[in-house]
Amino acid sequence: MTTPSTMPGAPGPYPQAPYGQPPQPPKKRRTWLIVLLVILAVMLMGIVGCVALVGTAGKAVTEVSASQQASQQAEEDRNAPREVTPGKAFTIGSHKVLAGWKVEADSTFGDAEFQVTGRAKNVSEATSTMFIHLKFIDKSGEVLGNVDCSTGDLEPGQTERMNCLSDGRYTNKYDKVTAEADF
């Protein structure tokens, strides 16, 4: 008796191949390749999503930084040095030096020094103290004298006489006066 697997035409563990060819094993699914491709696709989508999120966040940070910078620049410009004219009102920071302020020579302690007199007003919504720095400059750009002026604490809308200290010899040869907030 012979076994069925050796009989021609009888089914065996593998499909029958034509005579002269070895039998072929069944086709294997390449599951590992499909899993690998799915994992790579998920990783790629994650990376693209992160890049998009970081790009959006970076743009938002840039926009906030630009607006903060503009706000800071506006505040700095309000306090930035500017040319002023003796007797004419000007505003620096939260304070306004009122019209009528004067620059004179003071010889009380020997050599004449710059003497600045006038009044300042708090034009802000909060209590604050004024500190300003005045420079007296000649045509060549040389600083001839400096004067620092301040007030006490002023409530909003309050006015007070400025207290000024000089550190330069007075001369009427100055070409311009600059003022800046000094705090």
The domain in which residue 74 lies consists of 30-79
Residue 7 forms part of a structural domain: no
Reported as a single tens digit per residue, the pLDDT across 156-172 is 999 999 999 998 788 88
* Overall average pLDDT of the 56-62 stretch: 62
Select the more confidently predicted residue: 21 or 144.
144
| pLDDT band for position 147 (cuts 50, 70, 90) | very high
Asked if 69 and 104 sit in the same domain, the reply is no
Per the structure, how many domains does the chain have? 2
Asked if 136 and 75 sit in the same domain, the reply is no
Reported as a single tens digit per residue, the pLDDT across 71-89 is 455 455 667 789 999 999 9
Say which CATH number the domain at 129 has: 2.60.40
Q: What pLDDT was estimated at residue 9?
A: 54
* Overall average pLDDT of the 59-73 stretch: 54
Asked if 53 and 69 sit in the same domain, the reply is yes
Asked if 56 and 98 sit in the same domain, the reply is no
Asked if 49 and 128 sit in the same domain, the reply is no
Q: What pLDDT was estimated at residue 151?
A: 94
Cα–Cα dist 78/90, whole Å: 11
Q: Is the pTM of this model over 0.85?
A: no
Asked if 160 and 70 sit in the same domain, the reply is no
Least-confidence region, from 13-27, 42-56, 86-100, 157-171: 13-27
